[in-house]
Amino acid sequence: MSSAETPTGRSVLVTGGNRGIGLAIAQAMAAAGHRVTVTHRSGEPPAGLSGVICDVTDPASVDAAFKEVEEKQGPVEVLVSNAGITDDTLLLRMNEDTFTRVLDANLTGSYRVAKRAASGMLRKRWGRMIFISSVVGLSGGAGQANYSSSKAGLVGLARSIARELGSRNITANVIAPGFIDTDMTRALPDARRDEIRKQVPAGRYGDTADIAAAAVFLASDGAGYITGAVLPVDGGLGMGH
Ligand code: NDP
């Protein structure tokens, strides 16, 4: 077993970990030997995982969730900022609320959880922040000015954190998934899904496990010298960006 695979039993928090990519990341982190909590906005946490209620658009809710995680499994050592939404429409039809609502959930939400996680990581002199961006954060996407802006913003956020906290053994990296088979992309019409698939060199949609594997690697001791990186996991869709 290489050092990248050695279970280190870190305290991991995955936002939006009740379904889709976040759930796959949480399950893979648990399988790698970490103590994992997911955030969910309502109902019960997914089977076999610890959960805390959290809405990343609400600073008080973020703070309460972190306090609960700290009591349950210790300060967050690995933060996966995954919670995100889309609200697609063409620029001329996109009103300010549609723009700012997506920015608030995807980018400001990530700032909120990163800031809250940073103090514990600083005390520990160890931390991993992983931000789930998107291929369209780098390439842009028609009808996605709000979403693409929020996902591009995550690159600036992560790289600033990498510069600020790098000397304290805290890394901040971005994963840029391509099209992954989840509720988010299942909402697209079949014709659009086929069109997208044809553009992917790998010839298929990604699986949530493809993103989870990258996240587990970035959280590992073996990835300690990787920071400020944008790791595309997109079947080759974004090559050149
Ligand atoms: P899903 O729509 O399947 O899941 C989104 C998750 O985010 C849910 O757990 C949802 O919680 C949570 N969430 C949304 N808003 C908030 C909020 N305000 N506070 C807390 N949690 C919230 O999406 P995916 O799994 O597909 O996407 C996960 C991440 O990956 C997102 O950031 C997305 O932008 C990104 N991504 C996805 C791609 C894809 O092809 N699927 C491609 C590139 C990036 P709830 O269940 O309560 O709604």
Ligand 1: centre distance to CA 1 (Å)? 32
**Residue 111 pLDDT level (bands cut at 50, 70, 90):** very high
pLDDT of residue 8: 54
Closest CA to 82 of 36, 124, 122: 36
Whole-number Å distance between alpha carbons of 106 and 55 = 11
Whole-number Å distance between alpha carbons of 45 and 68 = 14
Per CATH, the architecture of 7-233 is what? 3-Layer(aba) Sandwich (3.40)
Name beta bridge partners: 231: 175
Mutating to test ligand 1, I would choose from 42, 53, 82, 192 the residue with most ligand atoms within 8 A of its C-beta, which is 82
Report the range of poorest mean pLDDT among 7-16, 45-54, 85-94.
7-16
Q: Residue 141 is which amino acid?
A: G
Percent with pLDDT over 70 in the chain: 96
Is the CB of 21 inside a 6 Å radius of any atom of ligand 1?
yes
Predicted-complex ipTM score: 0.99
Is the CB of 18 inside a 6 Å radius of any atom of ligand 1?
yes
Q: What is the C-alpha end-to-end distance of the chain, expressed in Å?
A: 33
**Residue 240 pLDDT level (bands cut at 50, 70, 90):** confident
Ligand 1: centre distance to CA 16 (Å)? 6
Whole-number Å distance between alpha carbons of 155 and 153 = 5
Q: What digits encode the pLDDT tens for the residues 153-178?
A: 999 999 999 999 999 999 999 999 99
pLDDT of residue 113: 99
Query: What is the residue extent of each domain of the chain?
Result: 7-233
pLDDT of residue 143: 96
The mean pLDDT of 103-115, rounded to a whole number, is 99
**Residue 7 pLDDT level (bands cut at 50, 70, 90):** very low
Ligand 1: centre distance to CA 116 (Å)? 20
Q: Say whether pLDDT at 230 is over 80.
A: yes
**Any idea what the Cα angle at residue 62 is, between residues 59 and 68, rounded to 5°?**
145
* DSSP-based three-state secondary structure for 21: helix
Parallel, antiparallel, or unpaired for β 230-233 and 127-132?
Answer: unpaired
Closest CA to 214 of 25, 33, 82, 78: 25
The mean pLDDT of 60-79, rounded to a whole number, is 98
Which atom of ligand 1 lies at the shortest distance from residue 21's CA? 25
The mean pLDDT of 33-62, rounded to a whole number, is 97
Site of tokens 């790998």: 202
Q: One of 111, 147, 205, 225 is an active-site residue; which one?
A: 147
pLDDT, the chain, mean: 95
**Residue 6 pLDDT level (bands cut at 50, 70, 90):** very low
Most distant CA atoms of the chain, gap in Å: 54
Q: Say whether pLDDT at 3 is over 50.
A: no
Q: CA separation (Å) from 3 to 74, 174, 217?
A: 23, 21, 10
Q: Residue 148 is which amino acid?
A: S
Ligand 1: centre distance to CA 173 (Å)? 18
Whole-number Å distance between alpha carbons of 65 and 45 = 13
Mutating to test ligand 1, I would choose from 107, 184, 230 the residue with most ligand atoms within 8 A of its C-beta, which is 184
Q: CA separation (Å) from 221 to 9, 10, 169, 199?
A: 11, 10, 11, 35
Q: What digits encode the pLDDT tens for the residues 114-150?
A: 999 999 999 999 999 999 999 999 999 999 999 999 9
- Decide if 147 is catalytic: yes
pLDDT of residue 152: 98
Is the CB of 179 inside a 6 Å radius of any atom of ligand 1?
yes
Beta-sheet strand order (sheet of 35-40): 50-53, 35-40, 11-14, 78-81, 127-132, 170-177, 230-233
Alpha-helix runs per DSSP H in 7-144: 20-31, 59-73, 96-103, 109-124, 135-139
Report the range of poorest mean pLDDT among 3-7, 26-30, 213-217.
3-7
Q: Say whether pLDDT at 236 is over 80.
A: yes
